[in-house]
């Protein structure tokens, strides 16, 4: 049995180590370890609750907006603030814009290189690539275009400076796309680098800037001066351009890739899914959420209501003090220190030991996968018409059954589906905003009192590009007494709990085929499908020879 360590995982945001045991060519056991402690929850203690949304955005350099949204919702819940209609719609539009940015970037820039052999594209016949593009893509390109693209790629490779394409596992036997499909994918990789500018600008229209927006605050939004025809028209134009790209390029590319890798519809799945729901279309939450709240348990397509009181975090295998699972409302973030952390590195030889800075969130005692797959499944079962129609259309195009969604490829496909449906619904919300303004309603903020006399507890839940995100706040004498964040990557990448249950990524890796332990491309496929995101070195250790193999992957 070989033990393989991938540390850190490339093309993710943050620092992640994955360790697996391989026997008979498949993963038999796995451990997920977050190796960086930041302590934002500790930093927030004693601060003004109105500042929390600005600080929590720094949790991430990618999904900044959604931490702001969860934070202001938590404060509003604690202070019992009802925001105006315009504020609700503007938040939906801003959030949709970020999803429209994150999902295509995840596919093209973060996980596509697990499926697309860039170097193989140099063998492509430009004429055949053009024919494939005409058949597959909504934006077909000519033979001349692919001749030029191939020439640029060759010059890039010949220079010896491959940038984001350097030191990957090109030529790995797990790559299956023909050279022409690889060349088309490289073109679309570059197209999305240009296209994502629209989504970033859409966020900035309502958020004042991007990525760390200033458009949210407890009580509403700050954009009353932006509620004019020019701003709304600008947003709507870019929204429609983004929808066209997703329809004509992103979704067809996902379908094209999936058609060559259908065996991955049976690899990398989980059975428990949690979705907080989001995008309120009325004042009553969560009843008016466009994407509904709910859970699916034990692989059954039956919706289970979600009670936030059943959420806990376990630190049995985490580098924190504590001996029992706690609800985040009374949660603790007390990192081990001093002698307790001497030599603290991920060490999974003692499987009952502590090996990560990530906690182990559980819902009703169960490890739950969160993210676009959970969102699509819950919306599908929960009666979202647009999700159901889109999912059924994708399954029909791939000649696949619904259980194919419980997989690595199902996870990637769900992102494209969620992205398309979300952006299309944003067209309706834009029209709702216009109609509300026409009625003479320009209110964007609800005033409230916050001073030393104010106490309160609350939480803010939303479902974001990477999954279910929650912030819990305890306000005492007008200041933050306690603050807890339970983020999507904690749900997905967390460790074993006190009962020995693996986290979702650990569980999903079991059974993954690995053709070459020195080139663990297949491990990256499943881990990247959950959308953790940063290019770094990978170290693979063969314990049978004690030889250390070092690779840089893109």
Q: What are the residues whose beta carbons fall under 8 Å from the beta carbon of 354, sequence distance 6 or more?
A: 316, 317, 318, 319, 336, 344
- For residue 395, give the H/E element and its range: helix 385-398
pLDDT band at 182 (very low <50, low <70, confident <90, very high): very high
Q: pLDDT digit string (tens) for 348-393?
A: 444 448 888 889 999 999 999 999 999 999 999 999 999 999 999 9
Q: Which of 190, 193, 209 is nearest to 201 (CA)?
A: 209
Catalytic: 180? no
| 534 pLDDT more than 90 | no
Report in angstroms the alpha-carbon separations of 274 from 311, 362, 365: 11, 10, 12
- 318: Cα separation from own chain's centroid: 22
Active-site hit among 13, 131, 332, 386? 13
Question: What number of helices (H) and strands (E) belong to the chain?
Answer: 15, 16
Active-site hit among 32, 60, 216, 525? 60
Q: pLDDT digit string (tens) for 1-31?
A: 777 877 766 666 667 788 899 999 999 999 9
Q: Which of 526, 549, 531, 518 is nearest to 169 (CA)?
A: 518
pLDDT band at 548 (very low <50, low <70, confident <90, very high): very low
Q: pLDDT digit string (tens) for 413-439?
A: 999 999 999 999 999 999 999 999 999
Q: pLDDT digit string (tens) for 232-256?
A: 999 999 999 999 999 999 999 999 9
The answer to whether the bond into 286 is cis (omega within 30° of 0) is yes
Catalytic: 489? yes
- Alpha-carbon span 543 to 2, nearest angstrom: 7
Active-site hit among 53, 63, 369, 419? 63
Active-site hit among 91, 489, 522, 528? 489
- Alpha-carbon span 299 to 294, nearest angstrom: 14
What b/e sequence results for 61-98 when a residue is b if at least 16 CB atoms lie within 10 Å of its CB, and e otherwise?
ebbbbbbbbbbbbbbbbbbebebbbbbbbbbbbbbbbb
pLDDT band at 224 (very low <50, low <70, confident <90, very high): confident
| 553 pLDDT more than 80 | no
Q: What is the mean pLDDT of the chain?
A: 89
Catalytic: 63? yes
Q: Which fold has domain 2-113+192-552?
A: Cytochrome-c3 Hydrogenase; chain B (1.10.645)
Mean pLDDT of 60-80: 91
Catalytic: 533? yes
Q: State phi, psi for 21 to the nearest 5 degrees.
A: -110, 135
Roughly what angle, to the nearest 10 degrees, separates helices 408-438 and 229-245? 160
In the chain, where are the structural domains located?
A: 2-113+192-552
Q: DSSP assignment, residue 519?
A: S
Mean pLDDT of 187-215: 90
Can you give the pTM of this predicted structure? 0.92
pLDDT score for 420: 98
What b/e sequence results for 275-295 when a residue is b if at least 16 CB atoms lie within 10 Å of its CB, and e otherwise?
bbbbbbbeeebbeebbbbbbb
Q: State phi, psi for 321 to the nearest 5 degrees.
A: -75, 150
Active-site hit among 240, 285, 536, 539? 536
Catalytic: 536? yes
Q: DSSP assignment, residue 407?
A: S
pLDDT score for 236: 96
Mean pLDDT of 121-142: 95
Active-site hit among 11, 53, 95, 466? 466
Active-site hit among 17, 53, 67, 415? 67
pLDDT score for 539: 26
Could you tell me how many residues make up the chain? 554
- Alpha-carbon span 114 to 512, nearest angstrom: 14
The pair of structure tokens assigned to 387 is: 């999700």
- 359: Cα separation from own chain's centroid: 18
């Amino acid at each position: 049995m070989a033990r393989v360590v991938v540390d850190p995982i490339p093309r993710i945001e943050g620092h992640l180590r994955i360790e697996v045991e391989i026997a008979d060519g498949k993963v038999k056991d796995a451990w997920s370890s977050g190796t960086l402690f930041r302590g934002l929850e500790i930093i927030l203690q004693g601060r003004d609750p109105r500042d929390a949304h600005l600080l929590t955005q720094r949790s991430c350099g990618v999904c900044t907006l959604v931490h702001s949204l969860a934070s202001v919702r938590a404060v509003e819940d604690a202070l019992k603030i009802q925001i105006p209609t315009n504020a609700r719609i503007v938040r939906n539009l801003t959030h949709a814009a970020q999803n429209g940015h994150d999902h295509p970037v995840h596919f093209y820039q973060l996980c596509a290189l697990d499926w697309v052999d860039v170097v193989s594209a140099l063998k492509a016949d430009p004429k055949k690539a053009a024919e494939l593009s005409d058949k597959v893509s909504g934006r077909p390109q000519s033979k001349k275009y692919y001749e030029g693209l191939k020439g640029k790629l060759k010059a890039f490779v010949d220079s010896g400076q491959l940038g984001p394409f350097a030191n990957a596992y090109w030529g790995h036997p797990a790559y299956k796309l023909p050279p022409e499909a690889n060349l088309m994918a490289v073109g679309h990789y570059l197209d999305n680098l240009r296209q994502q500018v629209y989504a970033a600008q859409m966020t900035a229209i309502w958020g004042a800037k991007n990525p760390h927006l200033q458009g949210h605050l407890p009580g509403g939004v700050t954009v009353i001066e932006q509620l004019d025809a020019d701003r709304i028209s600008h947003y709507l134009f870019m929204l429609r351009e983004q929808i066209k790209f997703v329809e004509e390029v992103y979704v067809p590319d996902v379908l094209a890739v999936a058609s060559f890798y259908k065996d991955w519809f049976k690899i990398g799945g989980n059975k428990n899914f949690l979705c907080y729901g989001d995008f309120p279309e009325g004042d009553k939450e969560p009843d008016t959420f466009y994407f509904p709240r709910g859970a699916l348990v034990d692989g059954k397509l039956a919706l289970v209501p979600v009670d936030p009181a059943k959420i806990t975090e376990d630190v049995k295998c985490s580098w924190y003090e504590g001996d029992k699972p706690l609800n985040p409302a009374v949660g603790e973030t007390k990192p081990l220190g001093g002698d307790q952390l001497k030599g603290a590195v991920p060490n999974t030889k003692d499987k009952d030991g502590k090996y990560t800075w990530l906690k182990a969130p559980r819902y009703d005692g169960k490890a739950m996968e969160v993210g676009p797959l959970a969102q699509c499944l819950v919306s599908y079962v929960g009666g979202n018409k647009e999700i159901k129609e889109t999912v059924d259309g994708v399954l029909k195009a791939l000649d696949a059954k619904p259980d194919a969604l419980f997989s690595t490829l199902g996870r990637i496909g769900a992102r494209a589906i969620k992205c398309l449906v979300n952006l299309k619904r944003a067209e309706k919300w834009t029209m709702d905003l216009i109609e509300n303004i026409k009625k003479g309603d320009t209110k964007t903020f609800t005033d409230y009192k916050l001073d030393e006399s104010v106490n309160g507890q609350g939480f803010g839940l939303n479902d974001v590009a990477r999954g279910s995100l929650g912030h819990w706040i305890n306000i005492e004498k007008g200041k933050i007494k306690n603050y807890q964040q339970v983020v999507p990557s904690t749900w997905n990448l967390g460790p074993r709990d006190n009962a020995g249950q693996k986290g979702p990524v650990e569980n999903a890796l079991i059974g993954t085929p690995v053709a070459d332990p020195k080139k663990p491309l297949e491990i990256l496929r499943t881990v990247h499908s959950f959308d953790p995101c940063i290019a770094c070195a990978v170290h693979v250790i063969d314990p049978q020879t004690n030889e250390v193999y070092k690779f840089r992957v893109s």
